[in-house]
A and B are shown apart, each in its own frame.
Chain A
Amino acid sequence: MIFRRRPAAALLGTLAALSLLGVPPAHADETTPTEPPKVELVLDISGSMRARDIEGHSRISVLQQSFNDVLDALPAEAQVGIRVLGATYPGNVKAVGCKDTQQLVPIGPIDKLEAKTAVATLRPTGFTPVGLALRAAARDLGTGETTRRIVLITDGEDTCAPPDPCEVARELAAQGTHLVVDTLGLTLNDKVRRQLTCIASATGGTYTAVTSKTQLTNRINQLVDRAATTYTQTPAQVDGTDNCTGAPLLNPGAYTDREQFQEHRWYRVPVRDGQELRASVSVSLDRALNRDYGVLLRAVSQDGRELVRGTDAGSGRTDVLSTGLRWSAEQDAPDQTVCLVVSNSFSSPTATSAATPGMPLELTVGVVDSSPAPNGPDLGRGWGLLGLLALAGLVGGLLFGWLARWRVSIWRAN
């Protein structure tokens, strides 16, 4: 009875556990940030937006219609701002045209009607100062604890470099303001695509080539939603050092840093007796790199002994390369501080390719109770065991029986 009831109980237990654990990561809701998510939409209103090549409509009209739908679908608590570039200066003087960017709607709870009117009255006009607009948008979004998103919608390559928009994006991402730039290209032009994919990968954003109005609407909605659902996941900024002794001492949590090619970054984590150290590291591939690469995370004791390592390597197109490790001291070891060192084997195809700022590095540290090795099982299981026991019983019975017969016959003989 007991054994028959048990699987059902186990099943119920598993179900309960599943429903409890169904929403990883479990630590997500520990702190509720006070800051709402912030998004700025940067719209290109340059002269080329007049081109009629999206399902027979002009790019600007597709953008405007799509914006009506996006604004309708916007959640009430969303803090969205709108910035335009190339919207006001119709002349030919590059120096003036390349400063042409204004904030149309300030970031905050959006007045949908007002925003719709503002967008609907835009007319394609001037130059395309993407880099400048990105810098201005980053300023609009300000600094804070949460991730900021810029959604850049453009149809033309930057006509105002320098500053090169891709350099600007990398520079903004390196400032530690947790900025992500998602780009949408309204044309399938090669140069535009290269520039936009560069901006996106430099900041961990995405690139989309817009081919229809529905796609544009859905994508903007998706990006705004993504900002709303993921804005809390912002790691703390930390600066690793080049040796163990002066390395920052880390509590459990998520951290972000930058690592250059061939650089070693050191961190320290205090680990007490009976605890297990867990660490994982991700290095983002935010620029053009040589084909093959690798990342190495090592845990080293204070006297320089390697305790454990985690490594991963790869080649080709990817966004991050990550690895992790677990380590726990033997029983009754004294408390100690373990050093973590992150190194990489990334390299750049061109000597001139910017080495600084370093590549984004994400480090998560966990310290939990260690899990000692299980004892060997005390009981048996399986059909083999039953057969063996049955055979043992049979042999035992036979032996005992023969012994008894032998004794009886001896007794009779006497």
Chain B
Amino acid sequence: MRTTSIRRCAGALSAAAAALLLSAGPAAADTASPSPSPSESLAPVTTAGSSFLTATAVQPGQPVQLAGSTGDYLYWSFTAEAGQTDKIAITVTLPPTSSRHGASNWAVDVFDGLRRRQACTAGAQTPTAAADAASVTLGCTLRQVRAWAEPWSGDPLPGTYYVRLAVTGLPEQDLGLPMQVAMRITTHDSDDIQPEGGELKASLTQPVTAGTVLTSAPPVVAEEKKDTGWNWDWLPDLSARWAWTAIGGAIAAVTGVGGYSLTRHPRRRISNPDGFNRLSPTTRQDHPVNIT
């Protein structure tokens, strides 16, 4: 008798667990799978800019393939969203060994929308190509883009990112020789956005159009009074936290009932039909027998 009751309890628990898994399932899949990379449909980029302002826009997954000269500074830009972790992979096919005079140092630098240097958490950011190497591989994995950061911090934020590829050291005679560059940016998305509820009002993208110099301070425009009516701002945003909290509450209720039922004396639970276990296992087992 006691075993049946426990089994019922376990059944309720497993049902709750199943419900939890079902609801958590898609979210987990979302986190695990890399972002949809429609690289097949994206046309390859064959250009690169020569400065921040002229950087060529590239989308994650879009292949970049171009011919350049050693010594060129090549700039690309891409847009990153909060929760995203971007990885840059570059392969430089070096000029023929016969025309080179020694080893060369290469560097891939990544800057955010405010041209602040961004750290790479992994990857060969500044490799050295040996004098007889045919190619050199560079890589940079950025930190996860945060949804919000204090103005004084240098954390990666949503907005434009600039990638600069350059040779930082080489025998002077090797400047200007032909090279081939292949680059690809891959993105890993996560729905675990830090900090929770943080939001940058305007993404980190600086204006590229010519500015104008003011002759005097602009007059202060009287601000419109904000609508003081009823609003729902106090309610937390619709997020996965609602699901976690609600399911947690349900589990708490189930385990609460389970805990309560454990304190009942086994015999009294059966003999007392008015007690907590109104539908006792014995009556349930008798019922189908009556029908047949």
- A residues at B contact (CB < 8 Å): 3-4, 6-8, 10-11, 14-15, 17-18, 21-28, 30-31, 145, 180, 185, 188, 190, 193-194, 196-197, 204-209, 211-212, 215, 218-219, 222, 225-226, 229-230, 233-236, 238, 248-255, 270, 272, 276, 278-282, 308, 310, 312, 316-320, 322-328, 335, 337, 362, 364-366, 368-371, 373-375, 377-382, 385-386, 388-402, 404-405
Among B130-138, B195-203, B280-288, the stretch in contact with A: B195-203
Q: In the bound complex, what is the Cα–Cα distance between A280 and B154 (angstroms)?
A: 13
Instruction: Say yes or no: A368 contacts B202, CB within 8 Å.
Output: yes
* B148 partner, pick from A308, A327, A371, beta carbons under 8 A: A371
Instruction: Say yes or no: B168 contacts A229, CB within 8 Å.
Output: no
In the complex, what residues of B have CB within 8 A of residue A374's CB?
147-148, 195-199
In the complex, what residues of B have CB within 8 A of residue A27's CB?
205, 207-209
Further 5 A-B residue pairs, CB within 8 A, beyond A25-B160, A222-B67: A22-B79, A229-B47, A236-B211, A308-B151, A322-B116
A197-B175, A208-B176, A254-B209 given; A380·B57 CB < 8 A? no
In the complex, what residues of A have CB within 8 A of residue B198's CB?
371, 373-374
Q: In the bound complex, what is the Cα–Cα distance between A32 and B9 (angstroms)?
A: 71
Instruction: Say yes or no: B211 contacts A365, CB within 8 Å.
Output: yes
CB distance from B72 to the nearest CB of A (A): 5
Instruction: Say yes or no: A207 contacts B176, CB within 8 Å.
Output: yes
In the complex, what residues of A have CB within 8 A of residue B71's CB?
197, 206-207
Q: In the bound complex, what is the Cα–Cα distance between A369 and B223 (angstroms)?
A: 14
* B228 located at the interface, meaning its Cβ lies under 8 Å from any Cβ of chain A in the complex: no
In the complex, what residues of A have CB within 8 A of residue B69's CB?
206-209, 219
CB distance from B80 to the nearest CB of A (A): 9
Instruction: Say yes or no: B114 contacts A278, CB within 8 Å.
Output: yes
A3-B243, A225-B47 given; A371·B199 CB < 8 A? yes
In the complex, what residues of A have CB within 8 A of residue B116's CB?
280, 310, 312, 322-324
Q: In the bound complex, what is the Cα–Cα distance between A276 and B202 (angstroms)?
A: 10
* B229 located at the interface, meaning its Cβ lies under 8 Å from any Cβ of chain A in the complex: no
* B23 partner, pick from A4, A209, A235, beta carbons under 8 A: A4
* B204 located at the interface, meaning its Cβ lies under 8 Å from any Cβ of chain A in the complex: yes
Q: In the bound complex, what is the Cα–Cα distance between A21 and B117 (angstroms)?
A: 22
In the complex, what residues of B have CB within 8 A of residue A18's CB?
59, 79, 81
* B115 partner, pick from A233, A322, A335, beta carbons under 8 A: A322
A interface: dominant SS: mixed
In the complex, what residues of A have CB within 8 A of residue B178's CB?
208, 211-212, 215
A235-B211, A397-B258 given; A377·B26 CB < 8 A? no
Closest to B38 in A: A15
Closest to A253 in B: B211
Q: Which of A26, A180, A281, A370 has the most CB of B within 10 A?
A: A26
* B247 located at the interface, meaning its Cβ lies under 8 Å from any Cβ of chain A in the complex: yes
Instruction: Say yes or no: A251 contacts B214, CB within 8 Å.
Output: yes
Instruction: Say yes or no: A393 contacts B213, CB within 8 Å.
Output: no
Instruction: Say yes or no: B259 contacts A404, CB within 8 Å.
Output: no
CB distance from A175 to the nearest CB of B (A): 17
* A193 partner, pick from B78, B172, B252, beta carbons under 8 A: B172
In the complex, what residues of B have CB within 8 A of residue A22's CB?
57, 59, 79
Instruction: Say yes or no: B52 contacts A394, CB within 8 Å.
Output: no
Instruction: Say yes or no: B208 contacts A226, CB within 8 Å.
Output: no
In the complex, what residues of B have CB within 8 A of residue A218's CB?
67
Instruction: Say yes or no: A17 contacts B256, CB within 8 Å.
Output: no
In the complex, what residues of A have CB within 8 A of residue B261's CB?
397, 401
Q: In the bound complex, what is the Cα–Cα distance between A235 and B50 (angstroms)?
A: 15
In the complex, what residues of B have CB within 8 A of residue A279's CB?
114
Instruction: Say yes or no: A14 contacts B81, CB within 8 Å.
Output: yes
In the complex, what residues of A have CB within 8 A of residue B243's CB?
3
In the complex, what residues of B have CB within 8 A of residue A21's CB?
79, 81, 203
In the complex, what residues of B have CB within 8 A of residue A323's CB?
115-117
Instruction: Say yes or no: B215 contacts A249, CB within 8 Å.
Output: yes
In the complex, what residues of B have CB within 8 A of residue A24's CB?
57, 77-79, 159-160, 205
In the complex, what residues of A have CB within 8 A of residue B279's CB?
none
* A317 partner, pick from B167, B207, B208, beta carbons under 8 A: B167
CB distance from B56 to the nearest CB of A (A): 8
In the complex, what residues of A have CB within 8 A of residue B79's CB?
18, 21-22, 24
In the complex, what residues of A have CB within 8 A of residue B210's CB?
145, 234-236, 253-255
CB distance from B14 to the nearest CB of A (A): 13
Instruction: Say yes or no: B214 contacts A317, CB within 8 Å.
Output: no
**Nearest 6 CB-CB pairs, A to B?**
A253-B211, A397-B259, A324-B114, A401-B263, A393-B252, A209-B176
Instruction: Say yes or no: B114 contacts A389, CB within 8 Å.
Output: no
Q: In the bound complex, what is the Cα–Cα distance between A44 and B250 (angstroms)?
A: 83
* B264 located at the interface, meaning its Cβ lies under 8 Å from any Cβ of chain A in the complex: yes
A27-B209, A251-B213, A308-B152 given; A318·B259 CB < 8 A? no
Q: In the bound complex, what is the Cα–Cα distance between A6 and B239 (angstroms)?
A: 9
In the complex, what residues of B have CB within 8 A of residue A318's CB?
73, 166, 168
Instruction: Say yes or no: A270 contacts B117, CB within 8 Å.
Output: no
* B173 located at the interface, meaning its Cβ lies under 8 Å from any Cβ of chain A in the complex: yes
Q: In the bound complex, what is the Cα–Cα distance between A403 and B251 (angstroms)?
A: 22
Q: Would you give the 0/1 interface string for B1-37, flagging 1 where the beta carbon is closer than 8 Å to chain A?
A: 0000000000000000000101101110110000110
Instruction: Say yes or no: A193 contacts B259, CB within 8 Å.
Output: no
CB distance from A376 to the nearest CB of B (A): 8
Instruction: Say yes or no: A371 contacts B200, CB within 8 Å.
Output: yes
In the complex, what residues of B have CB within 8 A of residue A324's CB?
112-116, 206
Closest to A377 in B: B196
* B262 located at the interface, meaning its Cβ lies under 8 Å from any Cβ of chain A in the complex: yes
In the complex, what residues of B have CB within 8 A of residue A366's CB?
202, 206-207
In the complex, what residues of A have CB within 8 A of residue B249's CB?
389
In the complex, what residues of B have CB within 8 A of residue A276's CB?
151, 201-202
CB distance from A3 to the nearest CB of B (A): 5
In the complex, what residues of A have CB within 8 A of residue B247's CB?
386
Instruction: Say yes or no: A390 contacts B207, CB within 8 Å.
Output: no
Q: Would you give the 0/1 interface string for B170-184, flagging 1 where the beta carbon is closer than 8 Å to chain A?
A: 001101111000000
Q: In the bound complex, what is the Cα–Cα distance between A398 and B261 (angstroms)?
A: 8
